[in-house]
Amino acid sequence: MQLQSVLFSLFLATAVVAKGDGNKTLSTAGECKEMKSLNKLVELASNTTKLDKVTKNNATKIAEIQAKASDASTQLDTLQSNSTLMSACAVIDAEAAEEDQCQETFCKFMDGLQKFVDVANNQTKLDKLTDGNTTKEADIKAKAATAQTKLTAMQSNSTLVSACDALKTSKDGTSTSASSAASTTTAAAKSAAMILKGASAGGAVLSTLIAVSIGMFML
Tens digit of each residue's pLDDT (9 = 90 or more) over 128-174: 888 889 998 998 899 889 888 888 888 888 877 887 887 776 665 54
Quote the number of domains for the chain.
Answer: 2
Mean pLDDT of the region 23-36: 79
Mean pLDDT of the region 87-93: 86
Whether 136 and 216 have beta carbons less than 8 Å apart is answered as no
Position 218 pLDDT exceeds 80: no
Domain boundary among 18, 47, 81: 81
Highest mean pLDDT among 66-70, 171-175, 185-189: 66-70
Helices (H), the chain: 2-19, 28-46, 48-55, 59-80, 83-120, 123-130, 134-155, 158-172, 178-197, 201-217
Residues 159 and 111 occupy one common structural domain: yes
Residues 187 and 115 occupy one common structural domain: yes
Domain boundary among 81, 113, 139: 81
Cα–Cα dist 183/92, whole Å: 17
Mean pLDDT of the region 203-209: 48
Residues 73 and 111 occupy one common structural domain: no
Highest mean pLDDT among 100-104, 119-123, 161-165, 196-200: 119-123
87 within a domain of the structure (yes/no): no
Residues 64 and 18 occupy one common structural domain: yes
Percent helix, strand, coil in the chain (nearest 5)? 85, 0, 15
State the average pLDDT for the chain.
Answer: 73
Residues 99 and 206 occupy one common structural domain: yes
pTM: 0.44
- The pLDDT of residue 216 is 45
- The pLDDT of residue 42 is 92
Residues 60 and 124 occupy one common structural domain: no
Percent of the chain with pLDDT over 90: 20
89 within a domain of the structure (yes/no): no
- The pLDDT of residue 94 is 80
Residues 100 and 195 occupy one common structural domain: yes
Residue 166, Cα to own-chain centre: how many angstroms? 9
Domain boundary among 39, 58, 81: 81
Whether 150 and 206 have beta carbons less than 8 Å apart is answered as yes
Residues 206 and 108 occupy one common structural domain: yes
158 within a domain of the structure (yes/no): yes
Percent of the chain with pLDDT over 70: 63
Whether 117 and 147 have beta carbons less than 8 Å apart is answered as yes
Domain housing 41: 2-81
Residues 75 and 172 occupy one common structural domain: no
